[in-house]
Amino acid sequence: MQHSEGFLKLVNAAKSRIRETTPEEVRRKQEAGERFHFIDVREDNEWRQGHAAGAIHQGKGVIERDIETTIPDHDAEIVLYCGGGYRSALAADALQQMGYTNVFSMDGGWKEWRGLEYPIERD
């Protein structure tokens, strides 16, 4: 997908302020039974077509509104992902501004997760 210059500037600024992780690290954590919140921030129709196993859905359009109800602990580990790691970076930046201290964006997102043939689910 070709992204606009303004969008990429916004994403790059967010990425300078957040921490990122990889699908490999997220999968390792799952296999080790480590506790963390794994959130898909893609649109509803993207979620319904398939999502990473173990993820919950809070779309980019509503996560800031709903996150404190879903995850009231601002120190909980949260890993966000989207299609490629751009929207999740923006969401991670917003959550940090809300006081969440242990937030990560999964670089490569859903595309890389699927490419690595990691477990997926469909609703």
Which of the pair, 2 or 77, is modelled with greater confidence?
77
Instruction: Give tens-digit pLDDT for 17-59.
Output: 999 999 999 999 999 999 999 999 999 999 999 999 999 999 9
Decide: 89 and 114 in contact? Cβ < 8 Å: no
Instruction: Indicate the number of domains in the chain.
Output: 1
Structural domain range at position 73:
5-121
Report the mean per-residue pLDDT for the chain: 97
Q: How many CB atoms lie within 10 A of CB 118?
A: 16
- CATH classification at residue 102: 3.40.250.10
